[in-house]
């Protein structure tokens, strides 16, 4: 799915391509392999893309929160990034 690839390729994804796809009607909450672009980005520790997708209307989910928490456990080196994602999701009201 192009949106997931645009959101997750590289260190922080490609926000300009995400925006282009959204302008052309791609569903921001479409699922690929049982996860949305937001859930994939959260799982990969992509702070800026997580914020970008939330700002563009992605639905914050408990699954995105779980993905970020799992990522933090996998990579202590990236724990600070995952903490920022967790905080952003909590700010939207997502709790588990």
| 41-71 confidence digits (pLDDT tens) | 999 999 999 999 999 999 999 999 999 999 9
Q: What's residue 85's pLDDT? A: 97
Task: Note whether residue 34 is domain-resident.
Answer: yes
* pLDDT tens digit sequence for 2-19: 999 999 999 889 999 999
Q: What is the pTM of this model?
A: 0.95
* pLDDT tens digit sequence for 22-48: 999 999 999 999 999 999 999 999 999
On whether the CB atoms of residues 82 and 50 are closer than 8 A, the answer is: no
How many domains does one find in the chain?
1
CATH of the domain at 44: 1.25.40.20
Tokens 């937001």 found at:
38
Q: What's residue 44's pLDDT? A: 95
Domain range enclosing 20: 2-91
Q: Using DSSP, state whether 69 is helix, strand or coil.
A: helix
Task: Note whether residue 73 is domain-resident.
Answer: yes
Of 84, 78, 68, 81, the closest CA to residue 35 belongs to 68
């Amino acid at each position: 799915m192009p949106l997931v690839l645009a959101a997750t390729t590289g260190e922080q994804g490609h926000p300009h391509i995400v925006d282009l796809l959204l302008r052309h009607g791609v569903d921001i909450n479409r699922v690929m392999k049982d996860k949305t672009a937001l859930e994939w980005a959260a799982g990969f520790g992509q702070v800026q893309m997580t914020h970008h997708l939330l700002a563009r209307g992605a639905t914050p989910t408990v699954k995105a929160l779980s993905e970020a928490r799992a990522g933090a456990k996998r990579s202590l080196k990236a724990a600070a990034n995952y903490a920022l994602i967790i905080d952003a999701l909590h700010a939207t009201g997502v709790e588990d």
